[in-house]
Amino acid sequence: MDLLNTLVDKGLRRELPTREEALAVLATTDDELLDVVAAAGKVRRHWFGRRVKLNYLVNLKSGLCPEDCSYCSQRLGSKADILKYTWLKPDEASQAAAAGLAGGAKRVCLVASGRGPTDRDVDRVSETIKTIKEQNEGVEVCACLGLLSDGQAERLREAGADAYNHNLNTSEGTYGDITTTHTYADRVDTVQRAHAAGLSACSGLIAGMGESDEDLVDVVYSLRELDPDSVPVNFLIPFEGTPLAKEWNLTPQRCLRILAMVRFVCPDVEVRIAGGREVHLRSMQPLALHLANSIFLGDYLTSEGQAGKADLEMIADAGFEVEGAGEVTLPEHRAAAGGGCGSHTDTAGGGCGAHASAGCGSHQDAGCGSHEGGGVCGTAAAVPAGEPRTDLVAVRRRGAGTDLAPNA
């Protein structure tokens, strides 16, 4: 296809595609899908080789958020039966982080529900960051705490944070339909504050909330303009007890097209498959590794992911390799600019966690697996093709905030 040849050429030059070209990727047919994946894969491999960066979520404070984000199980008025607990102590958070690092993660994403941190909260998280870095040599830490006010990003940077995540989630034109307690402009402001403080900016989106192709392109172009080092792509999990519980709009093919479009628009950025990959990509997850160069290991904020061992096997079986702790994630031109996920002593790039109301990089309603073993997502034969896969959504009952071992 001439379109794909053009997009590959532009991706290798870091040239922005036209909106029409981005929309055309989303409009391709299933017969063209493998060609789309192959083309975007050329761009991914040019900038990132066959490396896959692993990230690990630690939910510092779960539930009881005052914001009304429609996608979130922790939102105001949520009836979702999730874990609810107040702040983990620094040693508890460090212990949880260590499980992910032992599983191969190189970045820990510290997430807390809420509109944004108080100054006391920043002190608390700063102490947690210091403890994690003291007890786990070489770890990268990303904070995901919601809307930032004056001086807070700088204080987190001084405490040792490498990155800050806050997602745009959806287009400016549709944002008010999803959330009313804060604005799209508030989110943009927080990303800019993090960037200005010297933190690696991480900001992404949630697909599957009923948005149009034009909305998806709008938010990805807005992200390109903000120039984060990493872009988490979440696929909505319609969690029971939330306003979007009936929004089952995604297919594995649709998810792959979205990831390809993001890669073409943001060719040299760490694209992370975040929440919802097990539920919506399902057996197509290995193909998505040809588009994205980063995933979350194990569980999410309020839901379970597939077993960490299964994640590692999937990466190896697909012909990719886990990115090592000493490897630089981002291309040289980005790392040299000071925003890149480089050595752990430098400002790290890459992003983080979960889009609770705090807005971190991975949609918290993203899981599957048994509550005991965290096995690979449920049986495909249990639900007819095209039907909602509610069987793949499991509330997290292990790891942070519980007495059970985490999945990593």
Q: Which of 51, 65, 144, 360 is catalytic?
A: 65
Catalytic residue flag (residue 266): no
Q: Which of 51, 72, 107, 187 is catalytic?
A: 72
Q: Please check whether residue 357 is in contact with residue 166, taking contact to mean a CB–CB distance below 8 angstroms.
A: no
Catalytic residue flag (residue 368): no
Catalytic residue flag (residue 144): no
- What does the alpha-carbon distance between residue 211 and residue 219 come to, in Å, rounded to a whole number? 11
Q: Which of 44, 107, 157, 202 is catalytic?
A: 202
Q: Which residues sit opposite 110 in a β-bridge?
A: 58, 143
The phi, psi pair for 336, rounded to 5°, reads -70, -25
Taking alpha carbons only, the member of 332, 408, 321 closest to residue 373 is 408
Catalytic residue flag (residue 65): yes
Q: Which of 51, 107, 142, 377 is catalytic?
A: 142
Catalytic residue flag (residue 360): no
- What does the alpha-carbon distance between residue 324 and residue 104 come to, in Å, rounded to a whole number? 8
341-344 own/partner pairs: CB under 8 Å, 24+ apart: 341/53, 341/107, 341/140, 341/162, 341/163, 341/200, 341/229, 341/230, 341/270, 344/138, 344/139, 344/140, 344/162
Q: Please check whether residue 376 is in contact with residue 310, taking contact to mean a CB–CB distance below 8 angstroms.
A: yes
Catalogue all structural domains in the chain, each as residue range(s) with its CATH number: 41-336 (3.20.20.70)
Catalytic residue flag (residue 352): no
pLDDT at 342: 40
Q: Which of 75, 257, 272, 389 is catalytic?
A: 272
In order along its 408 residues, the chain shows pLDDT tens digits of: 799 999 999 999 999 999 999 999 999 999 999 999 999 999 999 999 999 999 999 999 987 888 889 888 777 677 776 778 889 999 999 999 999 999 999 999 999 988 999 999 999 999 999 999 999 888 999 999 999 999 999 999 999 999 999 999 999 999 999 999 999 999 999 999 999 999 999 999 999 999 999 999 999 999 999 999 999 999 998 888 888 989 999 999 999 999 999 999 999 999 999 999 999 999 999 999 999 999 999 888 877 888 999 999 999 999 999 999 889 999 999 988 765 444 333 333 333 333 333 344 554 443 333 333 334 444 445 577 778 898 888 778 888 888 888 888
Q: Which of 44, 51, 107, 109 is catalytic?
A: 109
Q: Please check whether residue 32 is in contact with residue 256, taking contact to mean a CB–CB distance below 8 angstroms.
A: no
Question: Cα(first)–Cα(last) distance of the chain, in Å?
Answer: 41
- What does the alpha-carbon distance between residue 12 and residue 42 come to, in Å, rounded to a whole number? 9
User: Is the entire prediction scored with pTM above 0.75?
Assistant: yes
